[in-house]
C-alpha cells in the first residue's frame, strides 16, 4: 500500500489497520448479522458512560454536527430556552443550530483561552429562571480547551436544568460518566474512539427520549423516531453507513482490549506532553495554559518569521509525512496539531522531526 501521511487533525484520524480491514466486507442493512453489530455498538457506547440503567444510544448517519442538530431539535422542546456559554467555534455552531431550529437561547461569551465559569453560569440560572436547558461543549476543539463539565453538571442538577453536552472530541478519552446526570451526550465515530467518520450518536436518558415525541423539526434527524425504531427492530430507518459501523464496532473492540477510557486518556496525554515538549524545543509556544489544555488537540502560535505562510508550512510538513490542521482562533495566526489516532512507531516525535525539517526547507528561523 502507498505510504499516506499521518493525520494529526481532530478527525478524520489515522485509524489502525484492523479498523481499516473491518471495512472490506459488505453488509446488508436488513441482515440479522448487521443488526447484531448495531446492537453491540449501541450497548458498548452506553457501557462507556456506565449508563445501562437509564441511557440508550441512538445512532445517526452523518457528520457529528448532524447529531448535535438531532439532539437539540429532538430533545429540547420548541418553547424551551437555552443558555449557551461560548468559548469557541463549536459553541458558536450550537448557537447557529438553535437559530436555524428556532430555539430561543441566551449566549454567554468567554474568551477562547478562558474556561467556562461555573460561577457565571450559576448567576445566569438565578437571573433567568426561564432557562430550561444548558448546551455545553466539553472539549472546545477550536482552541483545544477543556471545560469543567463536572462542576457545571452539578449546577444543572442543583438548579434542575436539562443538560446537553457536545462531547464530540472528548468522549471515550476523558471521563463523561452517566452520574453527571446529563439529558444527552453527543459524540461521533471518527474522534476518540478512532473509527472512521460518518456516524454520530446521542447517549440520551430514556426518560427524556420518552417525552421527546413530536419535538423534532426534521424527519431524518428525529431522534425519537429512530430510537423507537431501534427498540422495535434494531434497524436504521434509512440507509445506514454499513462499513462505517462495522469499522466502529472493530474500533470499539480494540478500545476495550487496550483498557478503555483510562488507557485512551493515558495515550493522548503522553502524545500531548511529547508534542508540546518537542515543539517548545523548536521554539513554538502553545496558545493555552497547561492546566486548561485538553490532551486532544494543541493550538500553537504561528512563527513570526516573514517567510511563514500556513499553506506552505502545511505542504512542507506533509512532504515529511504528516498532515496538520489550520488554526481556528479569531484574532491570531495559529495552527493545530491533534494528539489522537494511530500515529505509528515514531508517534508525535516523528511529527516534531517533520516540523523541524519543514522549517529548514522553508528557511524559517524566527519562531
Nearer of residues 90 and 227 to ligand PLP, judged by Cβ: 90
CA count, 13 A, side-chain hemisphere, 229:
16
Burial 310-347 (b: 16+ CB within 10 A, else e): eeebbebbeebbbbbbebbbeeeebbbbbbbbbbeeeb
- Minimum distance from residue 168 beta carbon to ligand PLP (Å): 4
141 part of the interface to ligand PLP, by CB under 6 A: yes
d(CA 324, CA 292): 22
11 part of the interface to ligand PLP, by CB under 6 A: yes
Interface stretch with ligand PLP, choices 60-68, 282-290, 310-318, 350-358 (CB under 6 A): 60-68
d(CA 85, CA 295): 22
Count of other CB atoms within 10 angstroms of residue 14:
21
Q: State which of positions 65-124 bind ligand PLP (CB under 6 A).
A: 65, 68, 90
63 part of the interface to ligand PLP, by CB under 6 A: yes
- Minimum distance from residue 191 beta carbon to ligand PLP (Å): 6
Nearer of residues 166 and 183 to ligand PLP, judged by Cβ: 166
Q: Are 88 and 145 spatial neighbours (Cβ–Cβ below 8 Å)?
A: yes
Q: Measured between alpha carbons, how far is residue 191 from residues 8, 64, 283, 338 in Å?
A: 12, 10, 29, 10
d(CA 301, CA 194): 27
Sign of CA dihedral 278, 274, 292, 156: positive
How many residues comprise the chain? 367
Nearer of residues 145 and 275 to ligand PLP, judged by Cβ: 145
The distance from CA 50 to its chain's CA centroid, rounded to whole angstroms, is: 19
325 part of the interface to ligand PLP, by CB under 6 A: no
Q: State which of positions 183-242 bind ligand PLP (CB under 6 A).
A: 188
Nearer of residues 139 and 362 to ligand PLP, judged by Cβ: 139
Nearer of residues 90 and 268 to ligand PLP, judged by Cβ: 90
- Minimum distance from residue 361 beta carbon to ligand PLP (Å): 31
- Minimum distance from residue 15 beta carbon to ligand PLP (Å): 15
Single residue of 6, 7, 8, 10 touching ligand PLP by CB under 6 A? 10
64 part of the interface to ligand PLP, by CB under 6 A: yes
d(CA 73, CA 102): 9
The phi-psi region of residue 251 (left if phi > 0; otherwise alpha if psi is between -120 and 50; otherwise beta) is alpha
Q: Using CA atoms in the order 245, 16, 70, 336, what is the torsion angle rounded to 10 degrees?
A: -170
Single residue of 166, 183, 222, 342 touching ligand PLP by CB under 6 A? 166
- Minimum distance from residue 195 beta carbon to ligand PLP (Å): 12
359 burial type by CB count under 10 A (0-12 exposed, 13-18 middle, 19+ buried): buried
Interface stretch with ligand PLP, choices 27-35, 78-86, 145-153, 166-174 (CB under 6 A): 166-174
- Minimum distance from residue 358 beta carbon to ligand PLP (Å): 26
Single residue of 15, 57, 82, 137 touching ligand PLP by CB under 6 A? 137
Give contact residues for ligand PLP (rule: CB under 6 A): 10-11, 63-65, 68, 90, 137, 141, 166, 168-169, 188
Amino acid at each position: 500500500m502507498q505510504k499516506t501521511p499521518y493525520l494529526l487533525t481532530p478527525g478524520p484520524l489515522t485509524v489502525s489497520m484492523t479498523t481499516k480491514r473491518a471495512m472490506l466486507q459488505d453488509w446488508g442493512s436488513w441482515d440479522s448479522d448487521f443488526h447484531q453489530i448495531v446492537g453491540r455498538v449501541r450497548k458498548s457506547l452506553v457501557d462507556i458512560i456506565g449508563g445501562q440503567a437509564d441511557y440508550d444510544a441512538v445512532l445517526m448517519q452523518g457528520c457529528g454536527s448532524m447529531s448535535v442538530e438531532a439532539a437539540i431539535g429532538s430533545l429540547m422542546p420548541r418553547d424551551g430556552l437555552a443558555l449557551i456559554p461560548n468559548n469557541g467555534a463549536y459553541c458558536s455552531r450550537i448557537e447557529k443550530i438553535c437559530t436555524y431550529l428556532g430555539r430561543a437561547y441566551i449566549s454567554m461569551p468567554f474568551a477562547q483561552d478562558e474556561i467556562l465559569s461555573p460561577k457565571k453560569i450559576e448567576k445566569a440560572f438565578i437571573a433567568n429562571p426561564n432557562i430550561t436547558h444548558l448546551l455545553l461543549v466539553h472539549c472546545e476543539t477550536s482552541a483545544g480547551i477543556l471545560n469543567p463539565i463536572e462542576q457545571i453538571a452539578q449546577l444543572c442538577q442543583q438548579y434542575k436544568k436539562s443538560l446537553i453536552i457536545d462531547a464530540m472530541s472528548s468522549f471515550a478519552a476523558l471521563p463523561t460518566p452517566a452520574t453527571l446526570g446529563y439529558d444527552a451526550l453527543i459524540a461521533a465515530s471518527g474522534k476518540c474512539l478512532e473509527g472512521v467518520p460518518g456516524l454520530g450518536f446521542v447517549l440520551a436518558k430514556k426518560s427524556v427520549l420518552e417525552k421527546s415525541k413530536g419535538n423534532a423539526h426534521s424527519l431524518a434527524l428525529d431522534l425519537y423516531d429512530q430510537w423507537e425504531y431501534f427498540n422495535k427492530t434494531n434497524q436504521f430507518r434509512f440507509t445506514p453507513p454499513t462499513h462505517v459501523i462495522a469499522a466502529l464496532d472493530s474500533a470499539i473492540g480494540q478500545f476495550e482490549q487496550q483498557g478503555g477510557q483510562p488507557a485512551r486518556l493515558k495515550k493522548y496525554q503522553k502524545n500531548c506532553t511529547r508534542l508540546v515538549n518537542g515543539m517548545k524545543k523548536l521554539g513554538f509556544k502553545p496558545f493555552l495554559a497547561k492546566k486548561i489544555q485538553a490532551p486532544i488537540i494543541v493550538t500553537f502560535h504561528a512563527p513570526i518569521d516573514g517567510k511563514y505562510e500556513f499553506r506552505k508550512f502545511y505542504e512542507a510538513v506533509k512532504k515529511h509525512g504528516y498532515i496538520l490542521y489550520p488554526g481556528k482562533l479569531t484574532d491570531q495566526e495559529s495552527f493545530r496539531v491533534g494528539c489522537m489516532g494511530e500515529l505509528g512507531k515514531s508517534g508525535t516525535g516523528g511529527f516534531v522531526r517533520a516540523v523541524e525539517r519543514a522549517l529548514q526547507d522553508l528557511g524559517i528561523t524566527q519562531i
